[in-house]
Amino acid sequence: MGYLWEHRTSPFFDAPIVDAQTFLKQAQALLAGGPFWGGDEPYWQPPLYIYLLTLVCWLLPASYFVGIRLVQVGLGVLSCLLVYALARHAFGEQIGRIAGVMAALCGSLLYFEGELLAVPVEVFLNLLLLYGLLLAWRRDHGCYWVLAGLIAGLAALTRPNILLFIAAFCAWALWHRRTSAYRSLFAFIVPIALVILPVTYRNWTIESDLVFISANAGVNFYIGNNTDYERTVSLRPGMQWETMIATAERAGHKTAAAQSAFFFRKALDYITTQPLNYLGLLGKKVFHFWSGPETKRNQDIYYARQHSRVLSLLLWDWRVSLPFGLIGPLSLLGLGLSMRGKWTPPIALLRLYALVYTASVVLFFPVARYRMPVVPVLIAFAALATFQFYLGVRRRAYLLTTVLALPLGGLLVLFNLAEAAPTEEDAQLYFDLGEVYLRKQDYALSARHSRRALELDPAYNYARHNLAVAYFHQERYGASEREALQTLAENPQRTDTRILLGRIYLATHKPQQAAAHLRHVLERDPESGMAHYYYGHLLYRQGHYAEAATHLQQALSWQPQDFWLHYELGRALQQAGRAESALDQYQQALSLAKRPEVLNAIGALHLLAGRTQAARTYFRQALALAPDNPEAHVNLALIELEDGDHAAAIDRLRQVLASGPFPHAQRLLDETYRRLESP
C-alpha cells in the first residue's frame, strides 16, 4: 500500500501506455456499449485481464485507476500467502515463512502490482493452480481435479504459457501413476477445454480461421527466434514495429491465424536452417533469463524508482541486481539441493513448474514481465537455499557452508554481469513521457521530453510527430509544420501527421494546403473520423454547409459522444437549411454537456420557428451558466423588442457593449434607435 500511495505521483499512474493503454481502451469500449465479446477481430492478446479491467471500471467509474491497483495489491497479498503455503508443504514451516517474506519484499512483484498489466493475475492464478493440483493429487477426488482445471483454464486465458506446464504435468502424472491417472486427468482437462473453447469459438465466428486464445503468439515467437534477435526483441511501438507486422499481410495473409502462422513458419525456418546459430541464441536467452537486471518490455521498470522510496529500497540495478540478481542464484542452488528429494509432490510439482515455465519463456524471449510468473516458485527454492546456509552457520558446519557458498558466489558474479540500460539514455522512456504529457495537455513538458527522445534517437519518427503536436498546441505553427513535414518525409504512410498538417494549415488560414492533406487521408482511409471532422470544419468555413454536414456526420463514428462534434454538425445543418435535423444534433449535444453555446443555439431555432416562450427559456438557461454571454443577451433583446419592451432591450444591449465590442449588438441597438425616432 505504501508503494501504491507513492506511485500516485508518477505521470504514468493515470496515463497508461502501450499494452496497458490498449487493455484500458478495450475495457472502456466494452463499457461504452461495444459487443461483450469485444471487437471485430480475434483477440490479439489473452482476454481475461481485459474483462477484469472492465468489471473494475464498471464498479468504480470515477476511480478505476486506484481500484484496479487495489485489486492487484490484494492478489499480491494472496500470492505471498500461496508462496508460503507451497513452500511449507514442500520444505517445512520455517522455509515457508522465509519464502513468504521474500515474496512480500520482492520489488519486481511490487512494481507490477502497480501497473495496468496482467502480471499480478498471472502470478496469482498460476500459484493457485499449483496449490489446487497439490490438493487434487493428495486427495484424488474428482471435484478437486475439476476445480484445478477451471483455474488452469483461467490461467491460460491470462497467459497461454501455462499450457506447456499443463501438458508436462499430464505427462508426468501418467508416468507416475500410469493407468490410475486417466480418470483424474480427464476431470482436469475437460474444464480447461470448457473455459478456453468459448474464446476459441468467438475468434472463429469473427474470422473462420482457428485462433485458440490470442493471435500474437506467432509474432512473439518470431521476435525471439530469428537471425536479427537483438533488433527485433528491442523493437518499440512505432514505424519499425508496424513494418514488421505488415510483412505478413504483404505476403498475402489476411486472417489473424494466417498471419500468426506466417511468423511461426519464419521462426521455424530459421531454427531448422541455422541450428548452430539457434543453439547459440538459445544459450544467450537462457543467460538473459537468469540475469539479474529487469529487462523491460515497452516500459522501463527502473524509472518507477524515481517516484517511490519503497521501490527504491526493493528494486535496483547496482552491483547485485535486486531482487532477481539474488533470487536467481539462490533458486538455482535451491533447485540443486531439492534434487535429493523424491520426484513426488509437492517438491516435484514446484520443480516441474519452475523448469517448464522457464523453458516456455526462453522459447519466446525472456523479459521481466514474462519472467514474473515463475519468480514466486523460484523464491520457494531460494528460501530453501537460504535456510540451508542458516543451518550451516548455526551448526558450525563450515565445510558444508563453503561447499554451498562457492557455486552461489560464482552464480552471483555470472548473473550480475549484465547491466540494465541507463534510464537517462532510454529514448522510448522520453517518448512515453512526451506522449503522456500530451494527454495531460502539458505541451511545454511534452515538447521537452519529445526533443530529448529525438536527441537520443534522431530517427524516432513517433517522437517527432508528438513534438509537432506539442508545438501546434503551443501555437508555434511554424515549428510544428517543420517537424510534421520531416515526420512525413521519414514515413509518408502516416495519416495522423497529414491530419496534423491539415490542422496547422487551417490555423494559419491556408485552406488549399489543408484540403490537400485531408483529402489525401480520406482517399487512403475513407473511415477516418478525424479527417472527416477537420475537412468538414474547413468546408463550413468556406460556406459549403451541406457538404460540411455530410463529413461531420461521418465523423460521428469516430467520436459519437463528443459534445463539440454534435454542436458543429448542428450548426452546419442549420446553415444548410435543415432546422429540424440541426435541432436534433443540438439536443444530443445538450445531453452530453449543458453549455451556453448549445442552449443559445436551441433557443435561436425556437425563436426562428416562432416558439418565443421556449426560446426565452433556453436563453435564460444559457445566461444562468454564463451571465455575460453576448449571443444570449442579444437574442433576449430581440424577444423584448418583439414584446414592445424597448427600454429593457436597450438596457440589455448597452450592457453587452459595455463589456466589449459586439457588432451584432451594435447593429440591433442602432436599429432600435432608428425605429424609436421614426414617426
Residues 6+ apart with CB under 8 A from 119: 112, 369, 372, 373
Q: Does 498 map to a domain?
A: no
The rounded percent of the chain whose pLDDT value lies above 90 is 71
Q: Of 377, 392, 415, which residue is a domain's last?
A: 415
- Classify the C-alpha dihedral 531-534-537-539 as positive or negative: negative
Per DSSP, the three-state class of 318 is: strand
Q: For residue 322, what are the β-bridge partners?
A: 316
Residues 6+ apart with CB under 8 A from 544: none
Cα–Cα distance for residue pair 355/335, rounded to 1 Å: 10
Q: Does 555 map to a domain?
A: no
HEC string of 570-628?
A: HHHHHHCCCHHHHHHHHHHHHHHCCCHHHHHHHHHHHHHCCCHHHHHHHHHHHHHHCCC
Cα–Cα distance for residue pair 157/118, rounded to 1 Å: 10
- In which band, very low, low, confident or very high, does the pLDDT at 38 lie, cut at 50, 70 and 90? low
Q: Does 184 map to a domain?
A: yes
Q: Which residue pairs, CB below 8 angstroms and at least 24 apart, start in 401-408?
A: 404/333, 407/333, 407/336, 408/329, 408/330, 408/333
- In which band, very low, low, confident or very high, does the pLDDT at 674 lie, cut at 50, 70 and 90? confident
pTM of the model: 0.88
Q: What is the mean pLDDT of the chain?
A: 91
For 46, how many CA atoms within 13 A lie in the half-sphere containing its CB? Answer: 22
pLDDT at 136: 94
Q: Of 393, 415, 437, which residue is a domain's last?
A: 415
User: Which of 316, 292, 318 lies closest to 306, judged by CA?
Assistant: 316
Q: Domain holding 660: CATH number? A: 1.25.40.10
Q: Does 510 map to a domain?
A: no
Q: Does 497 map to a domain?
A: no
DSSP state of 148: H
Q: Does 673 map to a domain?
A: yes
| Angle (deg, nearest 10), helices 324-338 and 375-394 | 70
Residues 39-63 pLDDT 10s: 678 998 999 999 999 999 999 998 9
Largest Cα span, the chain: 122
- In which band, very low, low, confident or very high, does the pLDDT at 678 lie, cut at 50, 70 and 90? low
In the predicted structure, residue 421 carries a pLDDT above the cut 80: no
Decide: 417 and 445 in contact? Cβ < 8 Å. Answer: no
Residues 6+ apart with CB under 8 A from 136: 144, 145, 147, 148, 184, 188
Decide: 410 and 435 in contact? Cβ < 8 Å. Answer: no
Cα–Cα distance for residue pair 535/530, rounded to 1 Å: 9
SS3 content of the chain, % helix, strand, coil (to 5): 75, 0, 25
DSSP state of 420: P
Averaged pLDDT, 619-638: 89
- According to DSSP, the β-strands at 316-318 and 320-322 are antiparallel
Q: Does 33 map to a domain?
A: yes
Q: Of 373, 399, 415, which residue is a domain's last?
A: 415
Q: For residue 318, what are the β-bridge partners?
A: 320
Cα–Cα distance for residue pair 458/468, rounded to 1 Å: 14
In the predicted structure, residue 643 carries a pLDDT above the cut 90: no
pLDDT at 656: 82
* Tally of domains in the chain: 2
Residues 138-183 pLDDT 10s: 988 889 999 999 999 999 999 999 999 999 999 999 888 766 678 8
Q: ∠ CA(246), CA(251), CA(254), 5° rounding?
A: 75
Q: Which residue type does 492 have?
A: P
Decide: 362 and 278 in contact? Cβ < 8 Å. Answer: no
Decide: 73 and 1 in contact? Cβ < 8 Å. Answer: yes
- In which band, very low, low, confident or very high, does the pLDDT at 36 lie, cut at 50, 70 and 90? low
- In which band, very low, low, confident or very high, does the pLDDT at 394 lie, cut at 50, 70 and 90? confident
pLDDT at 641: 83
Q: Which residue has the cell 535496483?
A: 316
pLDDT at 668: 81
Q: Does 166 map to a domain?
A: yes
pLDDT at 296: 87
DSSP state of 214: -
pLDDT at 659: 83
Between these two residues, 675 and 544, which has the higher pLDDT value?
A: 544
- In which band, very low, low, confident or very high, does the pLDDT at 270 lie, cut at 50, 70 and 90? very high
pLDDT at 179: 62
Q: ∠ CA(368), CA(374), CA(378), 5° rounding?
A: 110
Cα–Cα distance for residue pair 98/324, rounded to 1 Å: 16
- In which band, very low, low, confident or very high, does the pLDDT at 544 lie, cut at 50, 70 and 90? very high
The domain in which residue 607 lies consists of 603-679
